Amino acid sequence: MHSKKIPDKLRYNRTLSIAQKFILEQNINRLPVDPFKLTARIDLPIVSASEYAMAMNCSFQHVIRDIIKSNDGTAKCVDNMQFIIYNERVASKGRIRWTLLHEIGHVRLGHLIDFEETRVQRAGLTKTEYEVLEKEADCFASRVLAPPIVLEALKVDNATRLITLCGLSRLAAENRYKDFSAKLNKRRFPDLLEIKIERNFHDFIHKKYCVICGHSFVIENAKYCPICGKKRVYWGDGKMIYSGYELDDKSKAKVCPRCENEETSLDGEHCIICGSHLVNRCTNDDNENNHSYEPCGILLPGNARYCYKCGSQSTFLSNKILRRWSESQADEQVASTHDNFGDIPF
């Protein structure tokens, strides 16, 4: 039953909390957010203006002018069923993305069911009431499409980065960055929901690739590529995944790489059958790169030829358990991970 009074100003804390909980509930863990997959998961029907026109036996122009009443989209509630209609002919994919999250925001914030006056259209609403609900939906969309804790972790410092990172239109990116940068210096310690969101986005935040060997990996604070040892590591997706050996939590091979002995869980770092060293760690020996560093000896992943912290050889490379990346490259699995819109029905 519609009974609540429309607020006279943006309920920022409530809107932010609902957006954060939505990110966690839907397990959103990478950008850009795909609104079509979201609406499918939350069982929220979404139809294009053309599809709606065909179903209602009316013109596309009628849907835009009299149903949506804008050039973008609308959320509606008919017989207690909520759904979204959007203009698929909008040229900007970023604008469509924003429109859909904006309308999802209206639904998740209860705008369609909480108030007597609203169907989230101008009819029945004063200008002030309409603008308040629009601001709340925009706030929801901005926090889901570009979560501040993720932008901060990735050190986003311009609007152009938001276009490529979050899939926003130029205007939306500029507005989002203006709001984000204004609040950045006023931010306190992250709250519990933000900490959970950052944890959800861990692999996305820390993904890296090497421009030399193309290796794609996720390691926090990596300075060197663990495959080729070069200091040409950047944030993003690579094209190559190099195979290695399965290790336990102490970087010890679960199966001996040389004799395939499976009894490796005993104390010690050497195979009890052939004597091979089973632990992959930094050797602190940097004969190739000649870097100046403090010895580290950290444990390394099962495919690491080099230490990602200091660039030294790994024990697996030094002991010839792993071949050099250039020798094994032809045998490796190619895995394209570049972001694209190939699976998004824009």
Model confidence pLDDT, tens digit, residues 199-217: 999 999 999 999 999 999 9
**pLDDT, mean of residues 101-108:** 97
Summarize pLDDT for 312-346 with one digit per residue, the tens.
999 999 999 999 998 866 555 444 444 444 443 33
Statement: residue 123 has pLDDT above 70: no
Summarize pLDDT for 150-209 with one digit per residue, the tens.
999 999 999 999 999 999 999 999 999 999 999 887 777 889 999 999 999 999 999 999
| Rounded-to-integer distance, Cα 275 and Cα 258, Å | 9
Percentage, residues of the chain above pLDDT 70: 88
User: pLDDT-based confidence at 289, cuts 50/70/90?
Assistant: low
Domain regions of the chain by residue span: 12-199
Residues forming beta bridges with residue 299, ordered by sequence position: 281
Residues forming beta bridges with residue 235, ordered by sequence position: 208
User: pLDDT-based confidence at 121, cuts 50/70/90?
Assistant: low
| Beta-strand pair 81-86/46-48 | parallel
Place of tokens 């045998």: 331
Statement: residue 128 has pLDDT above 80: yes
Q: Which residues contact 319 (CB under 8 A, 6 or more apart)?
A: 276, 277
Summarize pLDDT for 14-73 with one digit per residue, the tens.
999 999 999 999 999 999 999 999 999 999 999 999 999 999 999 999 999 999 999 999
Average pLDDT across the chain, whole number: 90
| Rounded-to-integer distance, Cα 243 and Cα 226, Å | 12
Beta carbons of 113 and 4 less than 8 angstroms apart: no
Instruction: State residue 116's pLDDT score.
Output: 67
Instruction: State residue 340's pLDDT score.
Output: 43
Instruction: State how far the alpha carbon of 46 is from the alpha carbons of 70, 83, 310, 312, in Å.
Output: 16, 6, 51, 53
